[in-house]
Amino acid sequence: MPAALSGNSSSRFMFRHCVLLSAALLGAAVLTPSPVLAETAGTQAMARGDYVRAVRELLVAAKAGDRQAQYELGLAYRDGKGIGRNPAQAFRWFRQAAEKDLPEAQYEVGQMEEDGDGTEKNAADAAEWYRKAATSGNVPAMFALGELYRNGEGVAKDEQQAIRWYRPAADKNDIDSQLALGKLYQQGVGTPKNPSEAAVWFRKAAQLGSPEGSYLLALLLIDADPAVHSMGHGPSRASVEAMTLLRSAAGQNYAPAQFYLGMAHLKGIEARLDDGEAVARLLSAADQGYADALHQLGRMYQQGRGVPQDPVRAYMYLELAFEMGDESAGPDREDSAHAMRAGAVQLATRRAQEWVQARGL
């Protein structure tokens, strides 16, 4: 035994106490989960669908102050994964991560404050959180801030500022920003009217798979080609591309494109005259509750064009169009009612209700 410890019971006691205390502290360090490891384990559990374990691990890291865990725990509470959906708790954890300058969390806080979800609605505060996230390069926040400026919510209405925030997001392939930017150039809002620049952004969105981008680009091409609207014209390069874009959008179940194609086949100008194809396209749009298509189908059943003449079905579609917001369908609906037998209006109204229920609209 070292001389310093021999014959000294007090020293021996202190030595043993220090050894035991060191071991206890070491054991505590080993047993206490690392926030980083807990966050990693939680993320991995979330990725494989083990949401209960994910929340348990994330909670450890979030309470220790890990901002990524706080953000992911907020997502779990927001979506109800591994724990009951709780917007207030989601907001609490998002806010903690946002205050630690995590852009994704700042965006989520902005969303919840804009919507009044889990917290009081406050568009002005939402704008500030979006600004912080957008300044750090968060693309969804750039678009969201652009929307607030365009609509004058939480900030003074300023379309030029909207463009300022849409553009960097659009440059990073955000489809919503590309569409918004294209519409402002198309309308000349916040910037000089510029159809060519609008076409650039609509084309970018279309190339990324946006049916709305394809549809809007097709309309620009058609508007810029007067020959498209002339009976008996030969197909031009613009009209061929426009029809290709419209069919692409319609193939993605985009109702405005389906309606446009239906009317094109009905008129026989932009596309070949084909009542059967017109009806098929219009039905596809109508099944999504597209009011213009419902109105047109009602007229076709009134006239018996492309379909058997049927006053009851005509009234049903016209009633649906009116209920979906097309007020111009009202007079046609009244005309249809005059051609119906007693009790047929009630039958058509009941069918309209069943139609809506069957489609969950």
- In this model, does residue 300 exceed pLDDT 50? yes
Note the pLDDT tens digit of each residue in 96-131.
999 999 999 999 999 999 999 999 999 999 999 999
Q: Is 252 helix (H, G, I), strand (E, B) or coil?
A: coil
Alpha helices in 101-158 (DSSP H): 103-115, 123-135, 139-151
Q: Would you state the structure tokens that stand for residue 135, as one six-digit string?
A: 């300044």
Cα dihedral sign, 287-293-299-303: negative
Work out the pLDDT band at 34, boundaries 50, 70, 90: confident
- In this model, does residue 15 exceed pLDDT 90? no
Q: Would you state the structure tokens that stand for residue 19, as one six-digit string?
A: 């050894």
Cβ neighbour number for residue 83 with a 10 Å cutoff = 18
Q: Would you state the structure tokens that stand for residue 64, as one six-digit string?
A: 């220790």
In angstroms, the CA 261 to CA 254 distance is 11
Note the pLDDT tens digit of each residue in 277-298.
999 999 999 999 999 999 999 9
Q: Is 138 helix (H, G, I), strand (E, B) or coil?
A: coil
Q: Would you state the structure tokens that stand for residue 85, as one six-digit string?
A: 């959906």
- In this model, does residue 25 exceed pLDDT 70? no
DSSP 8-state assignment for residue 269: S
- In this model, does residue 337 exceed pLDDT 70? yes
In angstroms, the CA 240 to CA 234 distance is 10
- Say what the pLDDT of residue 27 is: 41
CA angle 85, 89, 94 (to 5 degrees): 110
pTM: 0.84
Work out the pLDDT band at 2, boundaries 50, 70, 90: very low
In angstroms, the CA 100 to CA 106 distance is 9
Cα dihedral sign, 43-47-48-50: positive
Domain boundaries, the chain: 289-361
Note the pLDDT tens digit of each residue in 38-74.
788 878 888 898 889 989 999 999 999 999 999 999 9
* Secondary structure (DSSP) of 41-95: HHHHHHHTT-HHHHHHHHHHHHHTT-HHHHHHHHHHHHHTSSS---HHHHHHHHH
Q: Is 34 helix (H, G, I), strand (E, B) or coil?
A: coil
- In this model, does residue 79 exceed pLDDT 50? yes
Work out the pLDDT band at 270, boundaries 50, 70, 90: confident
CA distances from 338 to 298, 307, 334, 343, 344 (A): 14, 20, 6, 12, 10
- Say what the pLDDT of residue 227 is: 64
R_g of the chain, CA atoms, integer Å: 31
CA distances from 70 to 20, 58, 59, 98, 187 (A): 36, 7, 8, 9, 42
Residues 6+ apart with CB under 8 A from 70: 62, 93, 94, 96, 97, 100, 102, 105
Q: Would you state the structure tokens that stand for residue 295, as one six-digit string?
A: 């109105």
Cβ neighbour number for residue 191 with a 10 Å cutoff = 16
Q: How far is CA 278 from the centre of its chain?
A: 30
